[in-house]
Homo-oligomer: A and B are copies of this chain.
Amino acid sequence: MGSRRTPGLKLNTGAMMINRLTSEERASELADLRGWQAVAGRDAIQRHFRFADFNEAFGFMTRVAIKAQEMNHHPEWFNVYNRVEITLSTHEADGLTSRDIELARFIDSIAPGPLSA
């Protein structure tokens, strides 16, 4: 099996200088996400998820894991039974960047609607 991406060069953004979001960008991006909160004392965002059970929680985590490795951008996360807490920040930039927003958007797109919070 092979590639199904659209043609074009892909930059390994992890290898380039990536800038922290400005206050304006940060506010604007956060307004578009679902349920992500600023972390106290750190330039990072966090969201808590609650699933029906462990099976659903770990299926979700597996999807986030596959995406994270594809982006080469990994979450800090905690799980116990049906709860998952995800914190996103960009180590190289020492703060929130567009890559965190991209991963947060993916996570929102696969998170269950009613139960999460």
Q: Is B70's CB under 8 angstroms from A1's CB? A: no
A69 to B64, CA, bound (A): 12
Q: How large is the interface on A (under 10, 10 to 19, 20 to 34, 35 or more residues)?
A: 35 or more
List residues of chain B with CB within 8 A of the CB of A99. 2
Q: Given A69-B54, A75-B80, are A89 and B1 also a contact pair (CB < 8 Å)?
A: yes
- Closest chain B CB from A32 CB (angstroms): 21
Q: Is A72's beta carbon under 8 Å from chain B? A: yes
Enumerate A5-55 residues with CB–CB distance to B below 8 Å.
5-15, 54-55
A residues within 8 Å of B by Cβ?
A: 1-15, 54-56, 58-63, 65-70, 72-81, 89-93, 99, 110
Q: What 18 new A-B contacts, CB under 8 Å, besides A1-B75, A2-B72, A59-B62?
A: A1-B73, A1-B81, A2-B14, A2-B74, A2-B99, A3-B14, A4-B81, A5-B14, A5-B15, A8-B12, A9-B9, A9-B12, A10-B10, A10-B11, A62-B62, A67-B69, A75-B79, A75-B80
